[in-house]
Amino acid sequence: MVEDGFRKGPVKITRLRMWPQFPADIATDLRAEFEHEAARQYAREDLGWVDVEHSSAGADDARMTDFKPPAARATLDEFRREYVALAGKRRHAVSPLPENVRRQVESLGYVTASGAAFPEPDVVLPPPGER
């Protein structure tokens, strides 16, 4: 599960995206089905906003998912721009794992076998509101 947020002035945007991890040694006949389900869940994003100046500390009941109000739209657009800019500055350190260690951490769900239909736990999500 990845949850992030952005706030500018009174508008606070939050989003949540989650997907299951499964053991690397899952039976071959189940792997495709599990990867399909993980990709389906990963594609679903819960994106919403709240006016923190007019609600009780961002209460869930005040959270809206309609970004038509100008302030909400402008904040979402800025969140996207900043997210893309910051993700572009991210360093990608690669530290190859010995095969025996990789299999062990895969079985714990920390990394996935290459070629998975969804990102590994150390991910950069697409910008908010985009698949």
In tens, the pLDDT along 53-96 reads: 888 755 667 899 999 999 999 999 999 999 999 888 877 666 66
Domain span at residue 18 reads 2-107
The answer to whether residue 112 is domain-embedded is no
The answer to whether residue 16 is domain-embedded is yes
The answer to whether residue 48 is domain-embedded is yes
Interatomic CA distance for residues 81 and 120, integer angstroms:
24
Residue 64 corresponds to which tokens in the numbers above? Answer: 């809206």
pTM for the full predicted model: 0.70
The answer to whether residue 117 is domain-embedded is no
The answer to whether residue 126 is domain-embedded is no
Interatomic CA distance for residues 45 and 38, integer angstroms:
13
Q: How many domains does the chain fold into?
A: 1
- Is the pLDDT reported for residue 117 higher than 70? no
The answer to whether residue 113 is domain-embedded is no
